[in-house]
Amino acid sequence: MRALRITLIVVVVLAGIFVAADRIAVSFAQDKAADELRSSENLPEKPDVSINGFPFLTQIAGGELDDVRVGIDDYTASTEGAGGDGAAAKGSTTIHITDLNAQMKGVTFSNSFSTATADSATGSARISYAELLKAAQVQSVEVAPGVTAKVTRLSDGGNGKIKVTVAGTVLGKQLKEPITVLSTLRVEGDVVKAHADAAPKIGGVPTPESKVRQITDFQQTITGLPAGIHIDQVSAAPDGVHVTVAGSHVHLAG
């Protein structure tokens, strides 16, 4: 009996040592991966990296991690904005994407964690209305003789739609009340598009719909996301535009 008790004690102690070593190893790996990701993506702050699954050491031995979660508070992507129907291109700029969270499956890596690639990824992110406004027509444009208009604000329109607020002038006089229209958001490839459900009249003056849509409609091409990640769906919400992202063969580092 004594021998059995001693054996059990030894097994428990060894198991405890293995668990402790496993947790130390995963903590080191998460920290190293976060450093590499920050460097490769030029992030202002160190991202959160969580490697799930136990034991970690056997995953390392197999050269593949089952489940890795990545959280980035502020990610700067490249953009190219344009007015309605692709007109009035504004040129390339940048856009801040916040609360970018992704779940990576089947992550293979080098021994130093300097390179890592995920078989698949899903996640979410958010774009503020102030950031999306960069793509809209915020400079006054003549939509009819003596009639000008520009977008002044973007906000939540409810039911997944975006509300576009437009200010107009008629014969040099500012309209007393701004015009608002509801727009539907959609994504095509790496382009987020806002299309007004109905083109409004500016000050009651008949204006060509194509001219008005140069104001109300706009699009934002978003590039520079982590390699392999693309925008899947977009929807307006009170705190901004919610984005779902997806990808395959996603390069986390290297």
pLDDT digit string (tens) for 5-55? 444 444 444 445 556 777 888 888 888 878 877 887 788 889 998 888 878
Say which residues have a Cβ less than 8 Å from residue 225's Cβ, sequence separation at least 6.
Answer: 75, 77, 97, 190, 231, 245
CA distances from 130 to 61, 97, 117, 124, 134 (A): 47, 11, 33, 19, 7
The answer, yes or no, to whether residue 222 has pLDDT greater than 90, is: no
Determine the longest span between alpha carbons in the chain, in angstroms: 101
Q: What is the pLDDT of residue 154?
A: 94
Domain assignment of residue 133, given as a range: 1-254
- Which backbone phi and psi does 219 adopt, to 5 degrees? -145, 155
Reported as a single tens digit per residue, the pLDDT across 119-129 is 998 999 899 99
Q: What is the pLDDT of residue 204?
A: 79
Q: What is the pLDDT of residue 185?
A: 93
CA distances from 137 to 15, 82, 166, 191, 195 (A): 64, 8, 10, 17, 13
- Other CB atoms within 10 Å distance of the CB of residue 214: 20
- Write the DSSP assignment of 130-184 as a string of letters: HHHGGGS--S-EEEETTEEEEEEEEEEEETTEEEEEEEEEETTEEPSS-EEEEEE
Q: What is the pLDDT of residue 6?
A: 43
Reported as a single tens digit per residue, the pLDDT across 129-177 is 998 888 787 788 888 888 888 899 999 999 999 999 998 888 888 888 8
Reported as a single tens digit per residue, the pLDDT across 74-93 is 888 777 655 555 444 444 57
In the chain, how many domains are there? Answer: 1
Q: What is the C-alpha to C-alpha distance for residues 97 and 220, in angstroms, rounded to an integer?
A: 13
- Write the DSSP assignment of 53-100 as a string of letters: SS-HHHHHHHTEEEEEEEEEEEEEEEEEEEEGGG-S--EEEEEEEEEE
Question: Strand, helix or coil at 214?
Answer: helix
